[in-house]
Amino acid sequence: MSNIDENKLHQGEPEIDELTKDRYLGGHEYDGIRELDNKLPRWWVYLFFVTIIFAVVYLLGYHVIKSESVKKLFPLQEAEYTNDSIAIAKLRGANPEPTVDLATMVPLTATTDLAAGEATYKKICFACHGPQGQGLVGPNFTDQYWIYGDTLTKTVSIQNLYQVVITGVIAKGMISYKDQLSPVQIQQVLSFILSLQGTNPPNPKPHQGVKYEKIG
């Protein structure tokens, strides 16, 4: 904008401050205080234009243009939620929750599984079965005696113990962990428990149940 144009805007000759030679903005004065007609800094003006362009794009993108391709670029909250739900469903499909087959289940031996089992044990089971599996309210896991073994085949299997954890022994104070632990977590914690065999911790609880030489 040229000087002449600006002068016209302020109707006639601009008043100039004697001391600084700056122009006054005409029209108002309060208690002798007047406003100078300073030029806005360039960066500020450009930023202002950017906000205007942003507002137009935002309005058109989110609220005016209804075409599918534009909606994809500017999804509203509801659309974002749907998109995320679809993405999560896809992820779940690619990494399904590991399942266990009870019929063929064997104790796990990988250190990561045993560590996960130990973590569950130390969170839930230790309170009744003792920190080292030596038994407290619940039976000792470090000896060869089991209450819920299979007397017919003379073995105690992870399946036998799985059943105890799934149904619980309410009369004796152990609840069912069916809803708290996933099948894999139960398999892991039982694998950890079975790995305690023969560890001889101090103050073991006396044997309960029947002696089983074999773990199957």
Q: Which residues bind ligand HEC (CB under 6 A)?
A: 124-125, 127-129, 137-139, 146-148, 161, 164-165, 169, 172-174, 177, 189, 209
Q: Crossing angle for the helix pair 111-120 and 183-194, nearest 10 degrees?
A: 100
Comparison of 23 and 177: residue with beta carbon closer to ligand HEC:
177
Shortest distance in whole angstroms from residue 57 CB to ligand HEC: 56
Q: Counting beta carbons within 10 angstroms of the beta carbon of residue 81, is it exposed (0 to 12), middle (13 to 18) or buried (19 or more)? A: exposed
Shortest distance in whole angstroms from residue 111 CB to ligand HEC: 19
Shortest distance in whole angstroms from residue 61 CB to ligand HEC: 53
Nearest to 112, CA basis, from 172, 162, 185, 177: 185
Tell me if residue 145 falls in helix, strand or coil.
Answer: strand
Comparison of 151 and 200: residue with beta carbon closer to ligand HEC:
151
Shortest distance in whole angstroms from residue 99 CB to ligand HEC: 19
Comparison of 70 and 124: residue with beta carbon closer to ligand HEC:
124
Residue with the two structure tokens 């234009």: 49
Comparison of 107 and 139: residue with beta carbon closer to ligand HEC:
139
Q: Give the start-end residues of each E strand in the chain.
A: 145-146, 155-156, 210-211, 214-215
